[in-house]
Structure 1
Amino acid sequence: MTVGQRIAQKRKELGLSQEGLGDKLGVSRQAIYKWESDASLPEVEKLVALSRIFSVPVGWLLGEEEHPAGQADGQSAELTEAQIKMVQEIADRYLAAQTARMEQPPQPPARRRWPLIAGGAAALVAAALFLNLFSQLNRVSQDYGNLQSTISNVSSNVNSQIGSITSRVEEILKAQNSLTASYNAEFLSSDPGAGTASFALEAVPKTYVEGMEAVFLADCGDGPLEFPGVLGEGQSFSAQVTVPLTDSITLSVVFVNGERRETQMLDVFTYLLSDTYPYVSCDGSDLWGSTGKDGVLRNSRYTFITVDEAFTGGPCTKIADIQVGLFRDQKLVARYTPCEQPDSYKGDWENARFFEGPETITLEPGYTYCMAALVTDEYGRQWVVHGTPAVYDPEEEFVEYADIAEDYSSDPADWDFTVG
């Protein structure tokens, strides 16, 4: 099995989706997709994290060793960095405790009727304690030194394993990309108005056979589209393709030799669609504050949104219109209109656009409120951005943020913009 197949197998055994595994690792679903399809390999730290999640050695993921059958689930063949720190902390505490205990002065002996004998005994006890102190300090020092040596050896062993993994990553990736001698997938441009993206594709088969053909595939989420490759110099197949603009576009090449078809992924492009939208943020937190038992918002007169048309991964479109309002359960209850920067907002509010609403707004308990903006760009595309939802609690006399923001979509069809 390839590295990607091993990751997919273990993920499915744990009942995780690609998105779920990505959440555990702090990466996107597209990254998991690329790993499992062998388009790329995880970075070294992600390989180590995968080995811990799957309870398998890193070497097993790379196909270099078998998973020990006797190893219990959740156990790891490697000492983790956290475990090393824990050992170090235990050693430090042990040494501190021993030193503190040994530095405590001995209790004075009880007074007896034989002061000379008592004095001699005290001297002997003091001498014994003194010798014992040196003996314990020496033993603790030796134990600590041995522990430090063990930790150093473990760290060296872990570093050696990581170094070995790193050196093999590129070799394994190249071995899995065995169909091409070279390839390239270059993003050329996007056309938000037409909703398309263009790419230049090139692939040179590792073994060319007379009469071989190549077909380039582009999967934009609704199944692959096919584009014939043109054979050029150096047995290189190429094509310029234009495909629907989405946030996940997978490009591949298929080498066709008679009835035989062999496919290799070239690259995955993500967030190309999102990068064409200007950045718009609608916070609305400046509205929330003390309401009193009457539920009247005291700070509802003004609000603002942030617009930054340069805060994207590529050239974005221009904004044609923005409608701002306060929504109750995603239904408009108060519309806000553009205005100049209010006197209450001091200083330079770069990229801020201000809006004015009603003097006061009365909130009702049991409903969820949030600020939201309907944005329309120059091509007529519309989407909704919203702030964090809040709920009015008359007992507390203020609003509390509601942890349901992820339930609100950016689709205008899910929002009611008519004032009831």
Structure 2
Amino acid sequence: MTMGQRIAQKRKEQGLSQEGLGEQLGVSRQAIYKWESGAAVPEIDKLIALSRLFGVSVGWLLGVEELPQEGPQSAPKADASATAPEGTAGELTEAQLQMVEEIVERYTAALPRPRRCRWPFVLAGAILAVVFLNLFQALDTLRLQQQNIFNDLSRVESNVDSQIGSISGRVEEILKAQNSLVADYGAEIASADLEKNQVTFSVRAVPKTYTQGMTVEFTADNGTGTVVRTAGIRSDDGSFTASLTCPLSDALSVSAVLIQPDGTRSTQLLEQFSGLYSASLPAVGVMNYDAGELLWLTCDDRGQVTLPEIYGTVGPDSSASAVNEAIGQTEADSVRLGLFKNKTLLTWLEPCEQPERFQGDYTGQRFFHLPEGFQVTLQEDTDELCFAAVVTDVYGRQAVYSSIPYILSRGELTWPDTSDLSDHDPAGWEYSQ
């Protein structure tokens, strides 16, 4: 299980909602959702607070150790084992602190009024306290040394990978320069017309070897079968330049075709541009505020799961990557939120006002509601269930933004280990237009 799944499991075992857990930790419901969905991790102090609240070790929450197994009942053990802490070996727990304080208090109370002849007892008490302190400090030092070793190994591995990557990059640059047909080149975004869904490039190429009568043709391939061509104009400095306009897409390749006087054509790739179309669409995020309540829902013998009441929002995505200024970005004109199985629509959620139980600033967020009792049938470890927003911008272009999907594993709903939410192409989704 991931750390988020472990947090969700323990929260549900204690009968806490995401909002209730957030109140106990002094954080928002959104923060709990992000922890459980894997979109964020708790800060160190919150992680410690979670371990104390759930009665588990920080190591268990992080997934580096498992909870101790409960074996068959046995005869009572000695007092030392009976009071063993619930955390990992060597951790200073609340029970240990209370035990040390109680020992010191009882020992001090048993001492008579200070007399010169009693100083050895006072010294013994001080030594006892120092022994406890040194013991716990030694354990902390061991844990710190272990962590430092792991950090050193990680740095060495990262350094080796970096050096290998640097060497590979230099070799690739050398080979590319040796095989290049041009001595210099450039391909930059000059402008974009999102209403026409077009982008214009400013291109330039200087042939490495020029022969009298040579011409250069620039091409742009948008990856969907459309190739735009335009002739380059030769300047006095020997460079060929042009302005190239083509349909906007997420996979654009700009090339220069060197044409010899005898008609021989040689193509040189100048630049590749990825994600331009997606970057021009409205950047929105989908959040299911009852995501944690769906975890661990069980199915019947037929694999049918009954969902609780669910509220979701669609709004500006604060975690979206920076917008390409040369392209720009449009605004959303209409938004629909649906429940999908394997990217096929099951039902649309109804638009609604912000529920009273949602307190805080939800500026720009659109709320949607799914009534309690909706049923869906899933195949074990095969079908994916998710909430996805179909967004139409002001120019009629559409994109689909998905939340983290759910799968049915061992008869319960859970999140998959990995999921790709980067593909916003509507072509891969089935829904009513």
Matching residue of 1:242: 245
Partner of 2:213: 211
| Deviation of the 1:349 alpha carbon | 4.4
Distance 1:158 1:357 in 2: 48
Q: Secondary structure at the match of 1:327?
A: strand
Match of 2:335 among 306, 322, 330: 322
Aligned to 1:256: 259
- Which residue of 2 is the match for residue 228 of structure 1? 231
Change (3 A) 1:322 1:230: same
The match for 2:390 is: 374
Matched, 1:388 2:404: yes
Amino acid at match of 2:349: Y
Deviation of residue 212 (structure 1)?
Answer: 2.0
Q: What residue is the counterpart of 1:8 in the other structure? A: none
CA distance in 1: counterparts of 2:238 and 2:277, whole angstroms: 34
Are residue 269 (structure 1) and residue 269 (structure 2) matched?
A: no
Is there any run of 5+ residues in structure 2 with no aligned partner, and where? 1-159
Match of 1:345 in 2: 358
Deviation sequence 1:115-166 (CA, Å, 0-9, x none): xxxxxxxxxxxxxxxxxxxxxxxxxxxxxxxxxxxxxxxxxx9999998877
Kindly indicate whether the alpha-carbon contact (under 8 Å) linking 1:247 and 1:271 is maintained by their aligned counterparts in 2: yes
* Partner residue, 1:313: 323
Retained in 1: the 8 A contact 2:278–2:424? no
Tell me, what secondary structure is at the counterpart of 1:183?
strand
Alpha-carbon distance in 2 for matches of 1:246, 1:161: 33
How far apart are 1:385 and its partner, in Å? 2.3
Displacement of 1:296:
3.9
Quick one: which amino acid aligns to residue 189 of structure 1? S
TM-score (norm 1): 0.51
Gaps spanning 5+ residues in structure 1: where?
A: 1-156
State the AA in 2 paired with 1:277: L
Aligned-partner SS, 2:237: helix
The residue that corresponds to 2:413 in the other structure is 399
Name the SS for the 1:379 alignment partner. Answer: coil
**Is the 2:228–2:245 contact (alpha carbons within 8 Å) kept by the matching residues of 1?**
no
Task: Please report the RMSD computed on the Cα atoms of aligned residues, expressed in angstroms.
Answer: 3.9
Q: d(CA) in 1 for partners of 2:294 and 2:286? A: 14
8 Å CA contact 2:307–2:372 kept in 1: the answer is no
**Cα displacement string for residues 355-386 of structure 1 (whole angstroms, at most 9, x for unaligned residues):** 22324434446575322222111111123222
- For the pair shown, which has the larger CA radius of gyration, 1 or 2? 1
Task: Give the 3-state SS of the residue equivalent to 2:276 in structure 1.
Answer: coil
Shift of the alpha carbon at 1:331? 5.0
SS of equivalent residue, structure 2 residue 205: strand
CA–CA distance in structure 2, aligned partners of residues 223 and 333 of structure 1: 34
Query: Residues 76-129 of structure 1: CA distance to partner in whole angstroms, max 9, x if unpaired?
Result: xxxxxxxxxxxxxxxxxxxxxxxxxxxxxxxxxxxxxxxxxxxxxxxxxxxxxx
Does the Cα contact within 8 Å between 2:221 and 2:254 map onto a contact in 1?
yes
Distance in structure 2 (CA, Å) of the matches to 1:161 and 1:362: 52
Equivalent position SS for 1:282: strand
Query: CA shift at 1:208, angstroms?
Result: 2.7
Contact 1:278 1:311 survives alignment (8 Å)? no
The Cα of 1:243 is off from its aligned counterpart by 1.1
Superposed, 1:21-170 pairs within 5 Å as none
Provide the C-alpha distance between the structure 1 equivalents of 2:404 and 2:376, rounded to a whole number of angstroms.
Answer: 16
Percent identity of paired positions between Structure 1 and Structure 2: 29
Deviation, 1:409, is: 7.6
Determine helix, strand or coil for the equivalent of 1:275.
helix
SS in 1 for 2:404: coil
Q: Matches of 1:371 and 1:174 in 2, distance apart? A: 48
Deviation at 1:241? 0.8
2:342–2:385 CA contact under 8 A, matched in 1: yes
- Could you tell me which residue of structure 1 aligns to residue 61 of structure 2? none
Query: Taking structure 1 as reference, are residues 324 and 232 closer, same or farther at Cα in structure 2, changes over 3 Å only?
Result: same
Match of 2:286 among 282, 288, 297: 282
Letter in 2 for 1:269: F
Return the alpha-carbon distance in structure 1 between the equivalents of residues 296 and 234 of structure 2. 71
What SS class does the counterpart of residue 216 from structure 1 fall into? Answer: strand
Q: CA deviation at 1:200?
A: 0.7
Aligned equivalents of 1:265 and 1:401: distance in 2? Answer: 41
Name which of 183, 186, 209 aligns with 1:184: 186
Partner Cα separation in structure 1 for residue 340 and residue 353 of structure 2: 23
Check 1:267–1:164 CA distance in 2 against 1; reply closer, same or farther (3 A cut). closer
